[in-house]
Amino acid sequence: MSNHFADRLCESVKTRKTSLIVGLDPVYNRLPTAITGHRQMNDEFDAAAAVDAIFDFCTQTMRIIAPMVPGVKINIAYFEKYLWEGIETYYSLINEADDLGLEIIGDVKRGDIGHTAELYASAHLENPELTGLEDTITPDAITVNGYTGADGIEPFAEMATKQGKGIFVLVRTSNSSAAAIQDFTDTDGQRMYEKLAELVSEIANKPERIGKNGYSNVGMVVGGTSPDVTTALRRKYGKIWFLVPGYGSQGASAADCIRFCKPDGTGALINASRSIIYAYEKPQYKGLFGDDWKKCIEQAVIDAKIDLATAMQAKL
């Protein structure tokens, strides 16, 4: 396995023949009753029971998807809700995901400057060498908020590079109110997010960050819902991996999302969360597989892969 994050992504995307990754956003009340009905996990108001159920669900889900997709994105907010109990579960899941050979993106959106940024980078990208935590591993990459500028991004990029890992910096999000800030436009017609993308690109293009496939370990998060944004960024930043939320439940189509991919399929990770992990709630899958929630998830992954592959073929 390569010790460069971007090279591992290339390999894994080519082997699994897809840019699709699965986002784990587990909410106790939406878990299958086969899990929450278990007598040790049937109390949503008991922190230990709730995180056990979430751990069980996520682990079983990852076993289903691991042979089919290059990675998972784990959203730490769903774990922070359970305070330290949740954080322990979050790191346990990372160990499980690693055993399954998945690339793991910790969706933590941390951001700060100086020593504080270094500490966040250490917590989320460095495997702790501390008695009591020595068996814990950290994600292969994390998401970073870059509002504080280069000072706030570089400590994360440095740590990621040292550890053979990666970061994805939030550049353009797909929520409706993002434009007020991120599309703020200067006298030269440059937008705020374009300025930030430029700044991320400078950090990403340092020679020590580029892998043998020509990609940097420093990437960008860009929502899939604005096709014009997408095409321009893909063309301009050839060395960048894009992490693309918004496919599936959030309304971005396969055609929108695959604009971030190069013709060989590399260059973007297209994330679907709820449309996959809660597939068993949908009549289309329930009708086919009844209460077999795992089969529903498996089929949803297959369908999403076909959807993306078809869109990719149509583009070529």
Task: Give the residues lining the site for a copy of itself (CB under 8 A).
Answer: 25, 43, 45-48, 50, 75, 77-78, 80-88, 91, 109-117, 119-120, 122-124, 128-133, 136, 145-152, 170, 173, 175-182, 184-187, 192, 195-196, 199
Cβ proximity to a copy of itself: between 146 and 219 the closer is 146
162 flagged as catalytic: no
Three-state secondary-structure class, residue 284: helix
Shortest distance (Å) from residue 4 CB to a copy of itself: 25
The residue from 14, 17, 81, 109 that is catalytic is 109
Cβ proximity to a copy of itself: between 37 and 114 the closer is 114
The values of phi and psi at residue 20, to 5°, are: -70, 130
Beta carbons within 8 Å of 310's beta carbon, 6+ residues apart: 254
For residues 56 and 24, is the Cβ–Cβ distance under 8 A? no
Sign for the CA dihedral angle at 43, 49, 54, 60 comes to: negative
Three-state secondary-structure class, residue 23: strand
For residues 270 and 244, is the Cβ–Cβ distance under 8 A? yes
Shortest distance (Å) from residue 213 CB to a copy of itself: 29
Shortest distance (Å) from residue 130 CB to a copy of itself: 4
What token pair was written down for 209? 């960050």
Closest CA to 148 of 108, 186, 116: 116
The values of phi and psi at residue 46, to 5°, are: -110, 115
Distance separating alpha carbons of residues 273 and 163, to the nearest angstrom? 27
For residues 96 and 89, is the Cβ–Cβ distance under 8 A? no
Distance separating alpha carbons of residues 293 and 296, to the nearest angstrom? 5
What residues are annotated to the active site?
109
